[in-house]
A and B are shown apart, each in its own frame.
Chain A
Amino acid sequence: MTASTGTTGTTGTTETTGSAGAKGSGKRLEWIMEKLNGGLVRAFLIVVGLFWLVPTVGLLISSLRSPEDMSASGWWKVFSEPSQLTFDSYRTLLENGDITSSLVNTVLITVPATVLVVVIGALAGYAFAWMEFPGRDWWFLGVVGLLVVPVQVALIPIAELFGKIGLFGNILGVILFHVGFGLPFAVFLLRNFFAEIPRELLEAARLDGAGELRLFARVVMPLGGPAIASLGIFQFLWVWNDMLVALVFTNADSQPITVALQTQVRQFGNNIDVLAPGAFISMVIPLAVFFAFQRQFVSGVMAGAVK
C-alpha cells in the first residue's frame, strides 16, 4: 500500500526548501503556499458545508411558502421576497386529523419500544456480565451474531405470525418488532459496559444485603447511565425514523407519521404543502434529540457501527 505511491506525492515544495541557495525565498514560498492551502481548505469546507445545508434549508423554506408560490417559483425566491413566508401550511397540516393522529402513533410506538429495549436489554446484559450459568458466553456470542441480521428477513415471517395471533395492524406488534431487532445491540452494548463495573462495588452492595434484583436496580442501572443514554437515544431515533417496519405492520389507524407521509409521496408535486411541513415536523424531535445529546448519540453510533 505504501511502496507504490512514490510518483504522486513528491512535489516541488520540499526540494525548494532543501536547496541551499534559495533558502530565503523557499521559506517565503512555503509560507505563501501554507496560507494559500489554508484558504483553499477553508473555502472547500465552506462549499461542502453549504452543500450539506442547502437541501434541508430548501425543505424548511418550502414548508413556509404557500402552494401557489411553490408552483410558481423556486424556494430561493424568498430571499428577494421574504414576505412570502407563512405558517399556513403548518396550520392546515395540524388541523389534518390523519397527520396529528399519526404523530401520536409515532410517540406511542417509539417511547415503549425504547423503554422496553433498555430494560430488557439491561436485564440480559447484566446476566451475561455478572451471573453464572452454563454456556453463558456462547449464548452471548449467539446474540452478537444477530447484530447484522437485516430486518427484511423477518418481514414476511412476522407478518404471517402477527396475522395468526391478531397483532397485525396493531401498535403492539410494531413495538415488539422494534424491540426484537433492537435487542442484539442493546445486549451487546450493555453487557460490555456492565462488565467494566468494578467488582468491589457489587460486592460491597452484596455485603449490605442487596439481592440480585436490588443490585441490578440500585447499583448496575445507575452506573450504566452513559451506556443506557447512548442506547436509548440510538433506539429512539431508529424507531422514530423507521418507515419500512411500520409500512408492513401498521394500518391506517396505527400508522406513524413516516407512513402517513409516504402515502402522500405518490402524488409528489401537487401536495408539497403537506409533504414539506410534514417532513419537517417529523424531523423536529430527532433533530432536537440530536442537538441536545450529541455526545451520547455519537458514542451510540460508534458502538452501533456493526448494526
Chain B
Amino acid sequence: MTTPAAAGAPGAPAPPRSRKSVTGTRRTVAALFLLPALVLLGALVVYPIGYSVVRSFYDQSGDGFAGVDNYKSLFTDDGIRTALKNNVIWVVFAPTVATALGLIFAVLTERVRWGTAFKLVVFMPMAISMLAAGIIFRLVYDQDPDKGVANAVWVGVHDTFAESSAFPKAHPGRDSPLRPEGGGFVTETPVRVGVPVSLPLVGVAPDQMPGDAQKAVKARPAQGEITGTAWQDFTRGKGVGTLGAPDPSELGYAGMRIEAVKDGEVVASTKASDDGTFTLPGKADGAQLRLPASNFKEAYNGLDWLGPSLVTPAIIGSYIWMWAGFAMVLIAAGLAGIPRELLEAARVDGANEWQVFRRVTVPLLAPVLAVVAVTLMINVLKVFDLVFIIAPGSSQDDANVLALELYRKGFSEDQPGIASAIAVFLLLLVIPVMWFNVRRLRREVRR
C-alpha cells in the first residue's frame, strides 16, 4: 500500500489495458451521465471558490473594492491572530501525536491476541460526531473533581504524591503568640533553647484533622535544642480547657511544617510528629518560628482544563482521542504489507525489538506515516466542532481556530469580506496537497 487513496481501489493495480468504451457511446449520453455531478460540483464547490476569492477583495458590505485590506486583517485582528497561533499549535502537535500513537498501537497490537478488540475500541470514536465527542469531553474536563473524571484522576494522583498534611482553615485563636504573615503564621517573639514553644491554632474541623493526629503533648525542655508543640488549642464547650496549653482532649497537628527564620532566612525546619511535638537544632536559637503558608493551602482542586492556558491542549487531547484510531488503522494496514522475512532477517542478525522497530519497521512505513500525518494536517486545519463545543464561552477566544473565526466573522459578526479572506487562506494551505493528489493520479489515469 503506498497511499490510502490507492488502497481504496480494490485489488492490485491492474496491468495497463484499454478502457475504450464498449458501447461506442455517443457524446450526448456521456454528457447525460456526467451532467448531475458536474452541475452540482460546479455550483456548490467550484463557484464558491471563485466567489470567495473575489469577495475577499471587497469590503464588508460587498459594495466597495477593498484591495488586500481583508488579508491585512488576517495579521492585525487580535481574534484572527490568536486563531492563527492556535492553528499552528494544532497542526504541529495533533497530527504528530496522533500518528505516533497510531504507530505504537499498530505495532503493539500485533503482539497480543486481543489486538482486534483493542483496535475496535480505539477506532470507535471515528464513528461518532465531533459534537458528541465534544459533549463527552466537556464532561471529562469538568473542573469539579467530583464530576470531571480528568480532575478526579489528577487530584487522586496529586494527593498520593503531594504532602497530605494541610490545615486549610487553621488560624491563631485568642491571645495567640502567632501573627499572620504571607499566608502563614510566625511567632511574635524569638524562641530560645531550653524553653518549650507553644504554637496553638484553632479552626480545623475535627473531620479535617489528619488521621494520624494524636493527643497533643506539652514538649519537654531539651539541652541545646528547641522543642515545642503545634496543636489544635480548642476543646468543645465554652470555657473548657486551658488556653495556650495542650489539654487531654486536644490533638497535635501531625505533619505541620515548621521553619525557624532568622533575618528572613530559613535556618532550620522540621515537621511536627503525631502528638504535635517538634524539635529544632540549637542553631535556631533566637530565630522566629514560622508555620509556612503551604500548611494552610486549600485542598487541591485539580487543573482548570478549560481555562485560558490549558483549553487548546485539552481540546487537542480530545481530537487525538478521536483520530489516533484512524492513524492506527492505516498504519496497521501498512504494517501488514511489510514482508515478515525482513523483520525476521534483522532479528536473526541479532537486532533487538527496538532496533527492528527503529531501523526496519519505521523506515519501511515512512510513506504511510507521511500520508497519515498530511491527512491529519488537512483535517486539523478544518477543526471546528470540537473547539466550538468544548471551549466554554469564557475561554473560547483563547481556544479560537481559523475555522471557528471564519464562522464567527461570517455569521455572527457580519464581516463576510474578512471571513472570505480566511476561507481563501485555508484553501491556499491545502493547495499543495491538491496538486500532489492530481499529479499522482495523472500517472495512474493514463495507462
Contacts and interface: CB of A to CB of B under 8 A. Distances in A.
Chains A and B come from one and the same complex: yes
Contacts of B44: 154, 158, 176-177, 179-181
A14 to B, nearest CB: 5
Nearest to B424: A153
B112 A131 contact: no
Contacts of B34: 123-124, 127-128, 139
B4 A131 contact: no
Majority DSSP secondary structure for residues of B touching A: helix
B118 interface: yes
B438 A144 contact: yes
A247 B438 CA distance: 32
Contacts of A9: 351-352, 354-355, 358-359
A302 interface: yes
Contacts of B132: 59, 241, 279-280, 282-283
A115 interface: no
Nearest to A287: B127
Nearest to B350: A14
B291 interface: no
B153 to A, nearest CB: 9
Interface in B113-162: 118, 120-132, 134-140, 146-149, 152
B155 to A, nearest CB: 11
A258 B355 contact: no
Contacts of B37: 120-121, 123-124, 143, 183, 187
27 contacts: A11-B354, A38-B111, A41-B108, A58-B140, A120-B36, A123-B37, A128-B34, A131-B30, A132-B30, A137-B446, A143-B41, A145-B437, A148-B430, A153-B48, A155-B423, A156-B48, A183-B45, A187-B37, A189-B8, A199-B22, A215-B22, A237-B127, A244-B403, A286-B128, A299-B8, A301-B126, A302-B4
Query: Residue among A74, A126, A237, A299 with the most chain B CB within 10 A?
Result: A74
B135 A305 contact: no
A299 B135 CA distance: 28
Given A149-B49, A152-B403, A266-B393, A196 B127 contact: no
A149 B21 contact: no
Contacts of A287: 124, 127-128
A154 B329 contact: no
A226 B30 CA distance: 24
Interface size class of A (residues with CB under 8 A): 35 or more
Given A10-B355, A149-B49, A196 B30 contact: no
Interface of B: 3-5, 7-11, 14, 17-23, 25, 27, 29-31, 33-34, 36-38, 40-41, 43-49, 51-52, 55, 105, 108-109, 111-112, 118, 120-132, 134-140, 146-149, 152, 321, 326, 329-330, 333, 350-355, 358-359, 362-363, 366, 371-372, 375, 378, 381-382, 384-385, 388-389, 392-393, 403, 406-407, 410-411, 416, 419-420, 422-424, 426-427, 430, 433-435, 437-438, 441-442, 445-446
Contacts of B118: 45, 48-49
Contacts of B420: 156
Contacts of A203: 22
Contacts of A56: 124-125, 136
Given A132-B20, A151-B382, A290-B124, A157 B36 contact: no
A276 interface: yes
A305 B330 contact: yes
Contacts of A38: 111
Nearest to B144: A74
B130 A241 contact: yes
A212 B352 contact: no
A109 interface: no
Contacts of B8: 188-189, 192-193, 227, 230, 299-300, 302-304
Given A49-B122, A155-B406, 18 more contacts: A2-B359, A52-B122, A54-B149, A58-B136, A59-B139, A74-B152, A120-B40, A129-B19, A132-B20, A132-B25, A153-B427, A180-B45, A226-B10, A243-B388, A279-B136, A282-B131, A300-B8, A301-B4
Nearest to A155: B410
Contacts of B152: 74, 76
Contacts of B31: 133
Contact of A180 (B19, B33, B41, B148): B41
B45 A5 contact: no
Contacts of A146: 41, 45-46, 434
A150 B381 CA distance: 9
A284 B366 CA distance: 36
Nearest to B44: A180
**Taking each of A5, A53, A152, A196, which has the highest tally of chain B beta carbons within 10 Å of its own beta carbon?**
A152
A86 interface: no
Contacts of B393: 266
A262 B41 contact: no
A196 B14 contact: yes
Q: Which of A5, A54, A155 is most buried by chain B, counting CB atoms within 10 A of its CB?
A: A155
Contacts of A1: 362-363, 366
Given A49-B122, A132-B25, A196-B10, A123 B5 contact: no
Interface string A152-182: 1111111111000000000000001101110
A157 B10 contact: no
Contacts of B38: 124, 139
